[in-house]
Chain A
């Protein structure tokens, strides 16, 4: 709708002008209050994923319902405020609410509707749609920096589509019934079902998507043969080992034969063995599904299997690698003799034993479309099939996978023509000896091992970690951080997340469990203990240590009892409640609407509760400005734009005694009679604070985009200023959006101490998380120093102050002015840790100069 229509609508209706500003403003403030409650609740829910809390399903349900309730109120509020302009929000809201409710009821376990999912979009949470094999390999490729085959998953939705379009469900069911009623033998039933599947047509949509995905992958890897492996990735296959061998894999399939191979693979779901197994296990029809993995074929030089523990002698602390030349199929099935390498589990993973056998035959690709058994070149027959670098890379990959999945791993790999290690599959390895200690055997460890630290710290991610300590000090290069090390640092700064792929643990003296590093540690499941106070002092660089976050204990040396205990225990993040919380948070926490100018910044574009919250906040501020500035309907209010030397587009709305004199052409600072606003502007305009100088060539355009919320090109009021201050003689409520920073200040200052309050909330920023985190800590340091009660939720800073005398309140509003003016540049200027102290001192000096020591 263009602006003229909007004005017409706003002026034409009699409704808006009759609503007193007081009521609208109360609605507006309510929306802010709801906004804050929602964001805090979301941050707290994420914190529960640290594993440090005991929570149950009840908690997840009540949190979701609380959020749902708050969001509903928020939408009601914005519609009151805008005369029902955003009723479309209800549609998006109900959709999200329904999805969350379905998850809470245990339904729709992440069943996707996509037929095809590329590996970079696949994770374990999608196992119900893509099968275990795809889910694991996708997660390895996207979260750990290991190589996996290029490929995509064909989902259970594709399987369902295939059955439906070919009307196969009833036919299969009928055949199964006849078999179960003993009318036909299992072999007959199996053959009939497989024939029915093979005579079906792959639906056109599915075929097109398969071929498009495969063609895209081929185009990315032109130097290799564009042939594919089409493998089963059945639901639950990796968990039920007796199932794994039952299904078909088709290798070296040319692109145009993929649909045919797909049918063959899904038909193998009905092998006689699998059918009998499912009958025994009482599988229901809707549980019999298959997803399929389609991977670019790797013309492997060598292939093999790695066990991260020797399954029969785990106490040897070794890993075992078996390998031979060529493709892996005959190696995995034990058809050819293999070389065996025994390596130390601990870095640098020395080779303890090597048994090289004579390898006469190998399986190779025969052009595109076939396989052949070939003779091995004479000189290679007695050569080791793996080079020492490859052994080392494999060992590192193995430890990484074990650390990530928190279980000993059984890994299939290939060595590609460029001698690189490719991970084909990783699953849990069953150790033969149940020799892990029980929890109650662990209480006496303190007598056996030296304790470096106990009873201090907060677990940002639960778990047990062992490895060499690497103490980070400023200036030390994180690139030198060793594989398998435990990072020990003063602050839990986001930049430390750079070593996430190599670290087995994090320990910091100071840190927030809702900060970026904590979130990353949770995502990558790396145990992390923050706030140990003096970890950096008591832990010696280079020493091996063991971290147990649950007991808040750090031991000197490797505590093997804990190590064995850890791989035996079910990782907490695998527990149902954790999985459920992660699932519902996906519908709640992500923010897709980051740019108010973007096309998706609409009610329909809202896909999560966070999106809805963000959208409403933006529109609430915009509405108050629109109604009171561009169309001054309220006789009780006056509005105008601040005329200032600084590039701040601020709309002031006076609800009583906040502005004096005439203001048709704008409001000059000296016309402001609102006491708290005066103090704030004095701070914001303090010499040097509002840095007008260009901040360096690369930042100049960036900075200019920050300083003006309006675009100079445009005169449309909708694009102009979203900075709003509602003022009266003693009160102000301010909403700033300076670029991507959001600041809310609500202050009342009078002679009555009991009524005085200041509320300050700051969030956002476009620079990388490291500097944002420094800014957050700087703000918290300054505000706490000046008596504010500070709360940090991620990079949101909330500060409150109450019941102080007028003079001190105004000093603090001056301070907030300094900070608002200053923080515009802070993100980009906070280039090192030491800047926190420098800026803190700078601000304190100004404060003392202005107001003296308090």
Chain B
């Protein structure tokens, strides 16, 4: 294992280097002055349907070129040169043709027929649908590059430390507390999972005026650090409470409620709630696994219900810590599949070492492992991206994954954010498959006692249960998992459970009235594919 691990580390190094080369923050110019240089001459300044010049011919030719130096790129001069909206569109067109996963499903429309670069970009994608009728591509975005480079401390969110669940986002709205960050203002004020918000700063949660919505959005989701607000909530026992709480910049606790439960028949079950794949979770996951080893657990339940994804390397580490070397040795965890114009990356292995996430270099510390061939995963539609990769990666090595809850969000895709003319573009450029080559779960991974299709996962449908705390043996998903552990089948009551999970965007579109717009950290529902590199001095053995 050690030897193959060294090989994997060397592979990481090589491909990480390539990755960085391909996707670096910016390019440099020879000039260090503020003058805007004219665009290079090219022979492709006219759109011809079906004919694509290399995107490099149009790169950084901007309608409004930036001048001066880029503070996010070592104060190097901006790479922009004088161009036009047409050259920006032509770059997008060629870049999409080169890198978009389904480039042959893009209609090659005349760029001049679109009033703006943004409008043109919006249609540079597939409009086909999945088997379920959903859009095939729901992840086509752009944003100002300056916003892309805004940074914050890992795992810091502004607010009170409340993670809301939207059971209904339009009147009559139902927002309940899904979980709290440990030690946060909300936790210290005595709020609990399941509490239902009634009003914020005396604005009813059902207010449907623009002014009311604005206040609710600000107070609930985007309060200024240091500001005090009043929240009225109803607890699960029916009592109402009014609290004044001060917003702050809160450190997240990505791993919570690590505990060893003992079932009625004496089975030791390790449980942990894993909320997000962020770098600061690494030591907490290691501590949790070490505790489970010490406790000599028989079964493991990982609660991914609110885990929208993040750093893929972290999920590969967790998968290794569950499966151990005996089950994962020599197998791939995740393989990216790009279009036929792009080379595929080297597969991601199960990672058995700690990573310095500031450099993405491997350390010399090996990870603990449980050597399990079976794991219970609790899921909802908020279980996304890197969390889905965990499920799919383990299924790829024939580990038994028992999925309890609702189907997952369905995001087996990723992209390399690419900058041009002060805008950063995100277009789907790869999907990910497991050791067995499976990765088509764009409609979500579905728990079912009787799997029939590739995206079906052995398990039980069960509803998120806001009437109990997470980690409570009586909480709906966990109790279903515990029942399955003891009886090797689903409880009858959950097999027909109707699920209504808080999916913000779906509810906002499907219902009537004004929706609230929460602010969420970037890593939620996404995947960061940065790869670890070997420690300095490691050889390619």
A binds B: no
Which A residues lie at the B interface, using CB under 8 A?
Answer: none
